[in-house]
Amino acid sequence: MSATKEILKPASKLLITEFGKRGITLKPTLSYQLISAAFGFWSHESTVDYTVPFEVLNDRHYFGAKPLFHHSLLCERVERLLSLDHQRSKDLTLLIVDLLTHHHPIRVQTLKVLYEPEYDATREMIFRVLQSKNSEPSPLASVAIALKQLPALPANTIDGHLRLMCSAPIVMNEVRRTVGEFIDQAPTWIWCYPSPFVKEAFPSLADQGFRKPRIEDEWMVPAVKPRTEIGVGFVLLQQCASEFADVAYAVVSGHYEFKTTARDPKWSDIKVLSIPRDEVTHFRHKALAEILGHPVDELPLLSRCRACGELIAVADAKPILCCSCPR
């Protein structure tokens, strides 16, 4: 089963069950068509062809890309594929959006589309599909950057962000050093596109584009005021001490903020945050190994090239970080 289908299958089953309760027999093939349409894609086959990276998200938090649903396309597809009248299709459209928002939340991992070279040829097409017609400019920073509604970032790959991040300061236990020095002090693993179930990774998953000021913003303290920001798309993990667990990891994330107050609005340097996380499982908290499906030390390990001293990392025999040595 393809990775996409594995993520979409529980959502498909949910749709089939809920439609069944309403007296509608939904074939599995059609359920996949409706899920794709909910995100603006004309067919399920097109999401497979373009390897659209769907992911399951935390139903209590929307850090990172907010799912952008395309009500009118979805309604049109329900009407046509199920031969239903317009009112019935409208009701079912709302049902599908509700199921994909609250019961089995799914979104497109937009940072992956923005940063991975495999999307160089299809990136603009995918973002144009995701960009909802009635919300310009985009509420997602990734889409706004790709469609040139926001300036380009100082780097646009995982490798590029990590290089910039190495000279950024990180403060742990009141000690201030650079991320490069932090990496050199102990084994450090990199997790690209970490699960949105890891709240310590939220800054790296940020994807907040333009939004209109809302009345409730006035009640918030300035430190948490919504802003235009985007995460680097990965976290670094290094073992650290904890009072409450035998094993704990420092989860190091990074994000850029868009500085609008400057005369020439631009992206900030990467802001780095380190948050400790105990490697334990209890109510509403899973150990990282459980979320990953394998031990943390099976993630790509960062190391330094013996020849040039730059950071390198390999995942599944494929380099994810390369040094500048000729190959």
Residues 144 and 137 sit within 8 Å (Cβ to Cβ): yes
Measured from the CB atom, the residue of 171 and 308 that comes closer to Zn ion is 308
Residue 322 near Zn ion by CB under 5 A: no
Q: Identify which of residues 10 and 319 has a Cβ nearer to Zn ion in the complex.
A: 319
Task: Please count the residues of this chain forming the interface with Zn ion, following the rule CB under 5 A.
Answer: 5
CB of 310 to Zn ion, least distance (A): 5
| Cα(151)–Cα(51) distance, integer angstroms | 26
Shortest separation between residue 181's beta carbon and Zn ion, angstroms: 19
Per-residue binding letters, 246-285, with Zn ion (x by CB under 5 A): ----------------------------------------
Spatial separation of the C-alpha atoms in residues 305 and 209, rounded to whole Å: 37
Minimum CB distance to Zn ion smaller for 292 or for 323: 323
Contact pick of 14, 97, 292, 323 for Zn ion (by CB under 5 A)? 323
CB 34 within 8 A of CB 81: yes
Question: Interacting stretch for Zn ion, rule CB under 5 A, among 32-40, 53-61, 133-141, 298-306?
Answer: 298-306
User: From the centroid of its chain, how far is CA 279?
Assistant: 22
Give 307 or 314: the residue with its C-beta nearer to Zn ion: 307
Give the nearer residue to Zn ion in terms of CB position, either 3 or 307: 307
91: tokens are: 């009701």
Nearer to Zn ion, 68 or 302 (CB): 302
Interaction of residue 301 with Zn ion, rule CB under 5 A: no
Q: Tell me the chain's radius of gyration from C-alpha atoms.
A: 21
Is 252 exposed, middle or buried, given 0-12, 13-18 or 19+ CB atoms closer than 10 A? buried
**What's the residue count for the chain?**
327
How far, in Å, are 108, 201, 204, 225 from residue 278 at the CA level?
28, 14, 19, 29
Smaller CB distance to Zn ion: residue 73 or 321? 321
Q: In the sheet that 318-321 helps form, which strands lie side by side, from edge to edge?
A: 303-304, 311-315, 318-321
Among 3, 241, 308, 314, binds Zn ion (CB under 5 A): 308
Backbone angles phi, psi at 242, to 5 degrees: -145, 150
Q: Is 305 in the site for Zn ion (CB under 5 A)?
A: yes
Whole-angstrom distance, CA of residue 154 vs CA of residue 164: 8
CA 196 – CA 61 distance, rounded (Å): 8
State the minimum distance, in angstroms, from the CB of residue 178 to Zn ion.
20
> Quick one: which segment of 10-18, 64-72, 222-230, 297-305 binds Zn ion (CB under 5 A)?
297-305
Q: Which residue has the tokens 């693993």?
A: 189
- Scanning 3-11, 88-96, 132-140, 315-323 for contacts with Zn ion by CB under 5 A, the matching segment is 315-323
Phi, psi of 207 (to 5 degrees): -155, 70
Q: Please give the residue ranges that form the binding site for Zn ion (CB under 5 A).
A: 305, 307-308, 323, 325
